[in-house]
């Protein structure tokens, strides 16, 4: 009768050893899967972070321009003031509502930024010839510069959307 006990005692360590190897192998597989998931998540976050930073930069620049337009409105001619009020509202809507993840949102932001840059640079040139280096000239130049930066970021975002990156 002592033999079956020895045989059971011999089998038990072998079964435990096999079980231990199976558990270790499964843990290693899970660790590998976790590493792959983590690497994929890091790549996706890096892509999302760059896209979000560009979109946030565009939105911030457009809102800064809209705020400056609103601040200078009382000092402008009535017709120009009405136009700038409407344009400032349009810019703030674009900054807040244009979906940065869609191609058309990036295109719309780029078009508004380019239009603002052209308008304010033309206004700065006109103001310079009308009254040299007035405060309004410098404000128009600042707005043109802000819209130029927004155009730069908008074109970059649009290019990434078109190329699918």
- For residues 154 and 163, is the Cβ–Cβ distance under 8 A? no
Quote the pLDDT of residue 151. 87
Question: Looking at the 3D structure of the chain, how many domains does it have?
Answer: 1
6: pLDDT confidence band, cut at 50, 70 and 90? low
Q: What is the pLDDT of residues 56-110, one digit of tens each?
A: 788 788 888 888 887 877 777 766 777 777 878 888 777 777 666 677 778 888 8
Quote the pLDDT of residue 1. 46
Looking at per-residue pLDDT, the higher value among 147 and 163 belongs to 147
Mean pLDDT value across the chain: 79
Neighbours of 80 (CB within 10 A): 14
DSSP 148-162: HHHHHHHHHHHHHHH
Domain containing 7 equals 2-163
Residue written as tokens 């996706």?
A: 44
End-to-end CA separation in angstroms for the chain: 74
Q: What is the pTM of this model?
A: 0.63
């Amino acid at each position: 009768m002592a033999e079956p006990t020895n045989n059971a005692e011999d089998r038990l360590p072998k079964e435990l050893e096999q079980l231990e190897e199976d558990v270790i192998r499964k843990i290693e597989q899970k660790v590998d899967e976790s590493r792959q998931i983590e690497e994929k998540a890091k790549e996706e976050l890096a892509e999302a972070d760059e896209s979000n930073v560009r979109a946030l930069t565009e939105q911030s620049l457009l809102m800064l321009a809209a705020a400056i337009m609103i601040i200078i409105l009382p000092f402008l001619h009535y017709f120009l003031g009405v136009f700038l009020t409407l344009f400032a509202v349009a810019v703030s809507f674009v900054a807040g509502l244009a979906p940065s993840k869609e191609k058309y949102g990036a295109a719309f932001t780029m078009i508004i930024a380019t239009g603002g840059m052209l308008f304010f640079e033309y206004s700065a040139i006109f103001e310079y010839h009308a009254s040299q280096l007035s405060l309004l000239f410098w404000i128009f130049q600042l707005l043109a510069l802000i819209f130029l930066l927004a155009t730069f970021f908008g074109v970059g975002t649009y290019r990434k959307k078109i190329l699918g990156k």
